[in-house]
Structure 1
Amino acid sequence: MNTVNKGFNALFKELKQYSVNYTDLDKLIVVKVSTQKLYLINKGKIVNTYNISTSAYGTGSKVNSFKTPLGKHIIAEKIGEDLPFGAILKGREWTGSIANIIKKPIDTDFDLVTSRILWLAGTEKGFNLGPGVDSKSRFIYIHGTAEEGLIGKPASDGCIRMYNDDVISLYSKVDINTKVWIL
C-alpha cells in the first residue's frame, strides 16, 4: 500500500472515530489542520484534495482568538459567483479591485479575501455555535488568498485559505448546507 492510500485510510478511520457517516453523504468537506489539506468526499470517495492554510494561531473557537474552529460545520452562504480570479472582497462585497497574487512565502500585513467565499456556520452548540464561539459570527470562511506562497502552512487569521484556482473549483462543486468537518 502506498503512502497516499495509507493517508486516506487514516483519514477515513478518523472520520469513523467521530461518527461521521461519510459514505451516505453526497458531498462532505474535511479540513485536516495537521496536514493543511482539504478533502472533498463524495459518497465515501475522495474526489479532490487541496492544499490549504489554516490559522497561524492554532485551533479554537473563542471570539477574537484568530484561531481556526474545529468540529462540524455547514456551508451557510456562497459568495462570489462569477467574480474574476483574484477579485478582492471586503464585507463579502467585491471592491472592484483584483489582488496581486504573491507566489513567494511572504506574510503581508493584510489578509485579503479573494475570488470566492464559502461562509461556514458551526453546528455544535457551545463549541462552534452560539455566544462567544459562533463560527458564522466570527466570519470563518473558506476563501481565496493573495498570499498563495503561504498555502500549505498555517498563516491565516482563522479562516481556511486556498489557492484562488482551487477555491473557484471547490465553490462550483459544493452547495449551501454541504457539511464541513474541521479536524
Structure 2
Amino acid sequence: MTNNETFNKHLVINIAKQTLKMHKQQAEVTEYTVSTAKNGFGSQQDSGCTPLGQHIIAKKIGGSEPMNAVFVGRVPTGEVYDAALSTLHPKRDWILSRILWLSGLEEGSNKGSNSQGGCDTYERYIYIHGTPDTEPMGIPLSHGCIRMRNTDIVELFEQVEEGMPVMIVAD
C-alpha cells in the first residue's frame, strides 16, 4: 500500500462484509460494522456507489465538535442531531459527529476521470462519517459514503491521520 513507510496503520473497508478494519503493523486492531452504498460499488460521478481501490484520508473534519454534531457541506451547522431534528428534516442525508474525507489514488479508477466521465472519490465527496444511531449498520444503505455509528467514528477519528492509507475492497 502507498505510504506504509510513513503510516504503520491502515484501514480496510470490505463492502461484502460491511466492515471497516484498522490494521496496525500487519495485525488487525479494531473492526467496526459500517453501511456502504445501497447502489453497490463503483466510482462514477452521480452513481451513488462506494468506490473501490486505494485511497487516503485527505481531510479530518469536526474534531472539536460534540457527538451528533450536524454537518452540511462539511461545515458544522451548530445543531446536534436528535429525534425532533430528524422529524423537522425527514429527507436529509445526515452527516454527523466526524468526517474523514477520502481521496482516491488510482487515476481513471477512483481519481480524475475515465471514458465514462468523472470518477474522482474526492470530488464526489465520499466520506467516512457518523449517521443517526437509528440507522442500521451491516446493510448497504448510503448514497456512496461509508456510514458508522457516532461512537465508532469519534473513536476512529482519534486514531487516524490525514494521508493514512484506506483500501476499499468488494469482498
TM-score interval for Structure 1 and Structure 2 normalised by the shorter chain: 0.7 to 0.9
Structure 2 length-normalised TM: 0.88
Partner of 1:52: 34
Q: Which deviations, in whole Å up to 9, do the C-alpha atoms of 1:73-127 show, x marking residues without a partner?
A: 00000000121010000111100001126xxxxxx63211000000000000000
Q: Which runs of 4+ in 1 moved over 4 A?
A: 20-25
Runs of at least 5 residues in structure 2 that lack an aligned partner in the other structure? 84-89
Report the TM-score when normalising by structure 1. 0.82
- Structure that is richer in strand per residue: 2
SS at match of 1:169: helix
- Residue of structure 1 equivalent to 2:15: 33
Percent of residue pairs bearing the same amino acid type: 41
Taking structure 1 as reference, are residues 147 and 138 closer, same or farther at Cα in structure 2, changes over 3 Å only?
farther
Q: Give 1:149's aligned residue.
A: 135
**CA RMSD between the two structures:** 1.7
Could you say which structure has the greater relative contact order, defined with CA pairs below 8 angstroms and 6 or more residues apart?
2
- CA deviations on 1:113-160 (whole Å, 9 max, x unpaired) are 000000000000000000300000000000000254311100000000
The number of aligned residues is 158
> In proportion to residue count, which structure has more helix?
1
Alignment of 1:83-162 (within 5 A): 83-100=65-82, 109-131=91-113, 132-146=118-132, 148-162=134-148
SS at match of 1:165: helix
| Helix, strand or coil at the partner of 1:53 | coil
Amino acid at match of 1:80: G
Q: Secondary structure at the match of 1:29?
A: strand
Residue 50 of structure 1: how far off its partner (Å): 0.3
The residue that corresponds to 2:54 in the other structure is 72
